[in-house]
Structure 1
Amino acid sequence: MSTVPSRTSARTRAGTVTLFLVGCLLWFVGAPIVVGVLTDLGPVVLVGLAAVQLAGAAGTAAWWLRRRGVGPAAVGIGAGRWRRDTLLALATVPPRLALELGVLVPLAGGVANEGVQEVLRLTSGGWSAVVGALVLGVVGGGLAEELWFRGVLVGAVPQVFADRRRARAVAVVVSVALFAVLHLPATVPDLVSILVAGATYTALFVGTGRLTAPVVAHSCWNATVIVALVVQHG
C-alpha cells in the first residue's frame, strides 16, 4: 500500500485537516443547503446533487493524493478481496434493518418521524422521484460520503501525523461523531440510528482497509430503506 511520507510539517498537517473540513462544508453542508433553499428537490436536482457531491469529494481527494505523491490505496481504493468485502457489507444490513424498523423508528414516531417524512417527500413524485432518491442515496451517500468520511478522514488524514496510530484513533471517533452531527438527528432514536450507521461503516473500513465494504453497506442500506418506505407508505 502506498502511504504518505512520514516526515511532514505542522503546516502540512494543518493544511490536510483544513482541506478535509472545507470539503465537508462544500460538498456535504453547503451543496445540500443550496439545493434545498433554491429548488423543489425534484429528481433531476437530486441526481445533480449526487453528482456534485461525488465529483467534489473525488476531485478534492485526487488533488490531495497527487500533491502528496501517493496512490489511491491511501484512501482505501483497491480491488483486493472485493467479494469478501461485499458479503461482509451485506451481512450488516439485516440486523440494522431489524433494529431500525423494529425499534428505533417506532420509538421516534413511526411514519410521523421527520426522517421518514423526508424520504416520503423526496419520493412522492412517482417512480422518477424514487430513482432520484436512490441515486442520491447510493452516489451521494454510499460513494461520496464514504470516500470522504472514511477514505479521506480515517484513511488519509492520519498518515500526515507522526503518531499515526493515535491520529487514526482520533479520526475514527471524529468520523462517527461528525457523520452523526451532519445528518442532524432530531430525536434520541435518530441519534442512535446514525451513530450505529457511522460506527458500522467505520468498522468496515478499519477492518478491511478498503472502501469496498463501507460503500456497499452504505449504498445497500440507503436503497433498502428508501424502497421499504415507498412500499409501505408511498
Structure 2
Amino acid sequence: MRFAGKTVVIVGAGSGLGAAITEGFALEGARLVLIDRDKEALDRQAIRFASARIVCGDAAENPIVEQTLEVSGPVDILIHTAGIDPLSATDVPGTSLEDWQSIISVNLTSAFLFARGVLPAMISRRSGCLLFTGSIAGLKPTPREAAYAVSKAGVIQLARAIALDHARQGIRANVLCPGFLESVMADRKQRMSESDLAKRSQAAAAMVPVGREGQYGEMAALALTLCDDAVSGYITGQPIVADGGMMLA
C-alpha cells in the first residue's frame, strides 16, 4: 500500500472530490483525518472509514486547524479540497462584499491556515506534501465568477510560494486544477434542480473537447499520484490541469 503509515489530512472530505480522494487514500492504507463543516456528510464518512479521525467545523477558522493538529499529530500529506462557488456571486459589480469575503475565506484563507498549521512539523522532519484543489478558473477566468477565479488564482500562488520557500526542506506543494467535473460543488448543488444539473451536464459535454465531464474517481487517482513521492517527487509548485482539453479552446 502506497501510503501505509502516512497521516493524511483531507479538508473538505465530506462529499464530492474530497470524498473520492478520501476513499483513494483509505484503499492505499493511509491514516486519515477528515475535516468538513457538514456533520451529516462526515458522519457518513465515519461509518465508511471507521479508523478515520473526524473533525467537524469551518476550515476557515483557526481553532479547527488547532483541533485537527491535536487529533492528527505530525501530518505527512495535506489535501485541501474545501471550496464554494455561490450562484449569487457573479461579475465584480454583481458580487456582494459578503459573498466575496465568504469565497475568499473558504477557498483561500482556509488553505493558508491549514498550510500554516502543518508546515512547521513538516519543516522539522524535512518531509511533507501539500496538494490544493484549484481550478482552471484560476488560470483562465470564467465568465461571471470573479471572486471564485480570484480565490483559485490565489490558491495556485499559495502553493507556488510554499514550494519555492520550502523545497530544500523536503516539502512539495502542487495544485490540482480540474475543469468541468461530474457535479457542482455542494453549495451550488443545494440550489439547483435535477433539471438544472442535467442541463449543466449537457452543456459541459458540448464545451469540453473530449466530450464529457471529468469523474471524481479519475481526479482522485491523479491526486494520489501527485502525493506519491516515488512517482511525483520531482513535481512541485505546479498547477496540474485536468480539464479534458478546455484550456485549449
Give the TM-score of the pair, scaled to structure 1: 0.32
**RCO higher in structure (CA 8 A, sep ≥6):** 1
Bigger fraction of residues in strand? 2
Bigger fraction of residues in helix? 1
Give the TM-score of the pair, scaled to structure 2: 0.30
